[in-house]
Amino acid sequence: MLEVTESAVKNVKEYLATNNINSAIRVIMQSSCSGTSLGLGLDEKNDSDKVFEEDGVTFLVDNGMFATTGAIKIDYIKPSSCGCGGDSGSGGFLVSSENKLGRGGSCSSGSCSSGSCGC
């Protein structure tokens, strides 16, 4: 199952239109030393994909990923005023899963990705 908030759809559509892009949006799983997380990328449909349409935007998720993630939610959030979100005017997409994803190593300390930025 994939849930995409109204705010996320609106911001994806604005991004695609501004950059003159006609592509599907893929939910990807990415791993780094600070852990495993979900993100978004531009891609074409594969045979193993589950396809979701939200207000004219196509979202792709590999069918096998749901076994690890459970339900996935895509939202668009504005950055916090503490500066953890980077440029305070940029906002960002938050892709979360029902199931907790694996943790990485400890090479990232004192940053927002480690949850210790003081917000």
Domains in the chain (CATH in brackets) are 2-100 (2.60.300.12)
Residue holding tokens 């935007």? 57
pLDDT at position 27 over 50: yes
CA-to-CA distance for 37 and 46, rounded, in angstroms? 21
Q: What is the pTM of this model?
A: 0.75
What does the pLDDT look like over 80-95, one tens digit per residue? 666 554 445 567 999 9
pLDDT (tens digit, 9 = 90+) per residue, 48-70? 999 999 999 999 999 999 999 99
Q: Cα–Cα–Cα angle for 38, 39, 44, nearest 5°?
A: 120
Residue 108: pLDDT above 50? no
Q: Which two tokens stand for residue 78?
A: 């504005």
Question: Encoding tokens for residue 31?
Answer: 């791993």
CA 89-22-63 angle, 5° bins:
95
Q: What amino acid is encoded at 83 in this protein? A: G
Dihedral sign, CA of 56, 72, 64, 21?
positive
